Structure 1
Amino acid sequence: MLDDRDHLLLTLLQDDADRPVAELAERTALSPSACSRRIQRLRDEGYVLRRVALVDRARINLPTTIFVIVKTSQHESGWLEEFRAAVNAVPEIVEVHRLTGNFDYILKLVLPHVEHYDVVYKRLVGRVSLFEMSAYISMETVKSQTALPTRYA
């Protein structure tokens, strides 16, 4: 069970995981050693999965976002494993979600430019059979955040 300090620690760590323990301790009204133990417990219990660096997409020439809607006529386990392997083999595909409704999957791609979509498309369809694919170019990112609300734990 998480308490208010744990929730605050998770929020602060999501904002900047490189914050010094002394600062985290001060913000949570804990001693540095108690704060460090709590952070370790949150890791041990699986609340903190890993620490990562967020990279500026524009600086590394990946400013374009394309969402691809996929329909498939196949749902057997062999095809699902092929699909998982295919999307995992394409680094430009950064998210894949299985959906309810009229479509089976939505893929999020990050690309240097729109024309590069054809390269990714050919790599994907060369690895797995798909019934239908429709691409949608993101014109603007209205909201993008990595931090999750912590009050539900």
Structure 2
Amino acid sequence: MKEIAIDKIDRAILSLLQTNADWSATDIAQQVGLTTTPCWRRIQRLQQNGLVTKKVALLDATRLGLTTTVFVQVKAARHDGQWLQQFARHVESFDEVVEFYRMSGEYDYLLKVLVTDMASFDHFYKRLVNGIDLNDVTSSFAMEQIKYSTAMPLHHL
């Protein structure tokens, strides 16, 4: 992957876009000390180089009734490419899974699952374990969300 040079202004633009992607190039330009056209060009360059991958609306899970967050840890039944592809396809088919990671340590995979309640998690769990051969599955229910952010740290740039 080609590394792109990021200066102080690019970092400020990225920081602003992370807080509100609805801001116009003019709004951002005013905040970073540029005129609109050079700011717009920088935004385009950041997008073309893959630093800005999407612009989305973030929804409130609780207001949507998704009040139960569950972290599901999975031990693989096998450690080969074919099983991994099958497992990835299986997990990706569930809308309830909002994050999915391959991990080091005792468990091989970590899923973050959002559901409305225990009954909906139970329904999800049964579909998960019946769809593919797994060695072990354990689930932990989040009691309280203390921090949530979609913003990437940029101070290292």
Q: Deviation digits for residues 88-136 of structure 1, max 9, x if unmatched?
A: 0000011111111111111100001122111111111222111111111
**Contact 1:8/1:28, CA 8 A, preserved across alignment:** yes
Q: Deviation digits for residues 43-76 of structure 1, max 9, x if unmatched?
A: 0111100101100111211111000111123011
Task: Quote the RMSD (CA, aligned, Å).
Answer: 1.0
Matched with 1:97 is: 101
Task: Map residues 1-153 of structure 1 onto 2, 5 A cutoff.
Answer: 1-153=5-157
Percentage of matched positions with identical amino acids: 38
Instruction: Tell me, in whole angstroms, the C-alpha distance in 1 between the residues paired with 2:48 and 2:97.
Output: 30
Instruction: Tell me, in whole angstroms, the C-alpha distance in 1 between the residues paired with 2:143 and 2:86.
Output: 31
Question: Which amino acid is the alignment partner of residue 132 of structure 1?
Answer: D
**Contact 2:100/2:111, CA 8 A, preserved across alignment:** yes
Moved more, 68-77 or 5-14: 68-77
Instruction: Tell me, in whole angstroms, the C-alpha distance in 2 between the residues paired with 1:152 and 1:123.
Output: 42
TM-score relative to the length of structure 2: 0.94
Instruction: Tell me, in whole angstroms, the C-alpha distance in 1 between the residues paired with 2:104 and 2:26.
Output: 46
Give the secondary structure class of the aligned counterpart of 2:134: coil
**Contact 1:70/1:103, CA 8 A, preserved across alignment:** yes
Give the secondary structure class of the aligned counterpart of 1:86: helix
Structure 1: tracts of 5 or more residues without a match:
none
Question: Which amino acid is the alignment partner of residue 124 of structure 1?
Answer: L
Provide the aligned length of Structure 1 versus Structure 2.
153
Instruction: Tell me, in whole angstroms, the C-alpha distance in 2 between the residues paired with 1:125 and 1:48.
Output: 36
Instruction: Tell me, in whole angstroms, the C-alpha distance in 2 between the residues paired with 1:64 and 1:97.
Output: 19
Q: Deviation digits for residues 14-41 of structure 1, max 9, x if unmatched?
A: 0000012211001100001111110000
Cα drift, residue 152 of structure 1: 3.2
**Contact 1:82/1:127, CA 8 A, preserved across alignment:** no
Give the secondary structure class of the aligned counterpart of 1:131: strand
Q: Where does structure 1 differ by over 3 angstroms across 4 or more consecutive aligned residues? A: none
TM-score relative to the length of structure 1: 0.96
Instruction: Tell me, in whole angstroms, the C-alpha distance in 1 between the residues paired with 2:53 and 2:126.
Output: 33
**Contact 1:64/1:113, CA 8 A, preserved across alignment:** yes
**Contact 1:70/1:104, CA 8 A, preserved across alignment:** yes
Give the secondary structure class of the aligned counterpart of 1:143: coil
Give the secondary structure class of the aligned counterpart of 1:75: coil
